[in-house]
Amino acid sequence: MIKHAYVFPGQGSQSVGMLADLSATYPIVKQTFEEASNILNYDLWKLTQEGPEEILTQTEKTQPALLAAGIAVWRIWQEQGGSKPILMAGHSFGEYSALVCAGALEFSDAVSLASDRGRFMQAVVAEGEGTMAAVLGLEDAKIIEICTDVNQGRVVSPANFNAPGQVVIAGHVDAVKWAMKQAKAAGAKRTTLLQVSVPAHSTLMRPAAEKMAERLANVTITTPTIPVIHNVDVSIKNEPADIRAALTAQIYSPVRWVETIEKMVADGVTMFFESGPGKVLTGLNKRITRKKMKTLPIVDTLTLEQALKALEVSG
């Protein structure tokens, strides 16, 4: 039997119209979004299908949408007889989706947590004060060095180690722009300012993490039935207290995605499935594993069929 892993994307994978094709065939998609809508008190499915995009991209709206999408695809996977993965992980917020599918978090609790997490993150940094940027074609060590060199009390630090030669930095707008300039001077192929207002995974998010810790303390978390690798330290956690601590620290700590995928490969994973929406992780994983591992997204009926077929062929 093939050893496969299931991974869940984070913010940036959302899009207006996502999962529309799957919803036409599988009623569980809209049912999942309806469950979330009843908790949120607004129509999450309508928002994802009709927009407007500027509302969908607001952090407190994006995160519940990503959660519902990931859970919906996982439910279809189970309905269609997709086998149980040996490992799960989520990129940034995607970790919540992984924990729900692994049985550690109730979906209803995760929906509320998703909305609050987004709201806490948006509230701690004034609009226009924080941002993120992608740096391409520079060694991780050099980017860390550049970020460390910033002074005068401004914050910029690595936020996502996404793939070899692809790191996202986050912090104060002026510090991020300074680091981008230094990265270009050091030989970076490209630096791109991202269209976000929240400097996620930077120390500016510590106040949001403190609020999130209070919320998590009142939510039931159980030992996952499928091991989940956590972003913050690339480890599997079984104790509820340790999972709460990881989810709290995750908000202001970098996403160590390269190491996460490398650990999965070391643990025997030979195929990855990305539980929609989008194909961001599929692209990153191919770069990390240098295309040696099959990585398949599940975003519509065609890709679902391809994923299930891949398991049959390899099984």
Q: What is the DSSP string of 25-75?
A: H-THHHHHHHHHHHHHTS-HHHHHHH--HHHHTSHHHHHHHHHHHHHHHHH
Q: Is residue 179 within 8 Å of 147, Cβ to Cβ?
A: yes
The pLDDT assigned to 314 comes to 59
23 belongs to the catalytic site: no
Q: Using CB atoms within 10 Å of the CB of residue 194, give its burial: 0 to 12 exposed, 13 to 18 middle, 19+ buried.
A: middle
Please indicate, yes or no, whether the overall pTM of this predicted structure exceeds 0.85.
yes
Measured CA to CA, the distance from residue 26 to residue 301 in angstroms comes to 9
Q: Is residue 273 within 8 Å of 4, Cβ to Cβ?
A: yes
The pLDDT assigned to 313 comes to 67
Q: Is residue 60 within 8 Å of 198, Cβ to Cβ?
A: no
Measured CA to CA, the distance from residue 251 to residue 96 in angstroms comes to 12
Q: Are strands 271-275 and 294-298 parallel, antiparallel or unpaired?
A: parallel
Measured CA to CA, the distance from residue 315 to residue 307 in angstroms comes to 12
Which member of 201, 202, 253, 275 is catalytic?
201
The pLDDT assigned to 121 comes to 93
The pLDDT assigned to 195 comes to 77
The pLDDT assigned to 39 comes to 97
92 belongs to the catalytic site: yes
The pLDDT assigned to 210 comes to 97
The pLDDT assigned to 59 comes to 86
Give the pair of three-digit tokens for residue 51. Answer: 């927009």
Cβ neighbours for 273, distance < 8 A, ≥ 6 positions apart: 4, 5, 6, 7, 77, 85, 295, 296, 297, 298, 307
For residue 252, the number of C-alpha atoms closer than 13 Å in the C-beta half-sphere is 18
The pLDDT assigned to 2 comes to 79
Measured CA to CA, the distance from residue 311 to residue 181 in angstroms comes to 46
Q: For each of the chain's 315 residues, which pLDDT tens digit applies? A: 679 999 999 988 899 999 999 999 999 999 999 999 999 999 999 999 999 998 998 888 999 999 999 999 999 999 999 999 999 999 999 999 999 999 999 999 999 999 999 999 989 988 889 999 999 999 999 999 999 998 678 999 999 999 999 999 999 999 999 999 999 999 999 999 987 778 999 999 999 999 999 999 999 999 999 999 999 999 999 999 999 999 999 999 999 999 999 999 999 999 999 998 989 999 999 999 986 788 999 999 999 999 999 987 655
Give the pair of three-digit tokens for residue 298. Answer: 């599940």
Q: Is residue 216 within 8 Å of 107, Cβ to Cβ?
A: no
Measured CA to CA, the distance from residue 140 to residue 125 in angstroms comes to 26
Which member of 13, 23, 37, 92 is catalytic?
92
Q: Is residue 311 within 8 Å of 2, Cβ to Cβ?
A: yes
